[in-house]
Structure 1
Amino acid sequence: MTGAVLAELMAQVTREGGDLLSLRAIAEEAGELGATRAMTRLGLADEKAQADLAELRDLLGAWRDAKKSAWKAVLGWAMRLVMALLLAGLAMRLGFAAWLE
């Protein structure tokens, strides 16, 4: 059922003296039919679909956590590198290399 067909059905019910209850029933039936078709096309119409979606959500959450942790680690290492370079530059500037000789 497309949106145009649904609109025509609702107009027909209105013309022929249908009430709001009939209109709502048509809309609900069309929504249910569309949702069922979409879920079937996505392969989510079986009993395992709910467990599959829950597992996918958990996997996505784990991926997001890993990505966040990886960025924090990269940022931490970058900051350590900058600080080490700054410290080495400061030591060279103050003549620390001469102390090693």
Structure 2
Amino acid sequence: MSTTETMMLARLIAQAEAEGAALVTLRALVEEASATGAEAACRRLGLDDARARGDLGELRELLGAWRDAKSSAWKAAAAWVTRLLLALILVGVAVKTGLLGKLA
């Protein structure tokens, strides 16, 4: 939290105490406290520099690509399992009808 923000928050608290906590003062206090808390949370997460927005954009792109790749892998695996089952059924039909004996 910067000194300007700290001073603003301290002034708002003093004003709330002196005025008997008027609604406008309390709203301003809540707004400043919220902004200060959000900035502190971003700082703790390492998202307080100028590159943070770009970094988050890149992470979202990577996550989207990962989800697409995972979905494609599952679809490909399902397609191969389906082909394998159909091939086994075809071999089973060939054995049952005696086609394999005629081919050999």
- TM-score (normalised: structure 2): 0.80
**How many angstroms does 1:99 deviate by?**
1.4
| Mapped partners of 1:34, 1:45: distance in 2 | 13
After TM superposition, which residue ranges in structure 1, 4 or more long, deviate above 6 angstroms? none
Aligned to 2:42: 39
Q: Please, which runs of 5 or more residues in structure 1 have no aligned partner?
A: 1-8
Letter in 2 for 1:83: L
**How many angstroms does 1:89 deviate by?**
0.4
Letter in 2 for 1:17: G
Q: Please, which runs of 5 or more residues in structure 2 have no aligned partner?
A: 1-11
Aligned to 1:25: 28
- Which stretch has the larger CA shift, 68-77 or 13-22? 13-22
Please provide the CA RMSD for this pair. Answer: 2.1
Could you tell me which of 55, 68, 72 is aligned with 1:69? 72
Letter in 1 for 2:76: A
Q: Structure 1 pair 14/83, CA: closer, same or farther in 2 (3 Å)?
A: farther
- TM-score (normalised: structure 1): 0.83
- Cα deviations by residue, 1:13-52 (Å, 9 ceiling, x for unpaired): 4895332111111111111111000000110000000000
- Cα deviations by residue, 1:43-98 (Å, 9 ceiling, x for unpaired): 00000000000000000000000000000000000000000001000110000012
Aligned length: 92
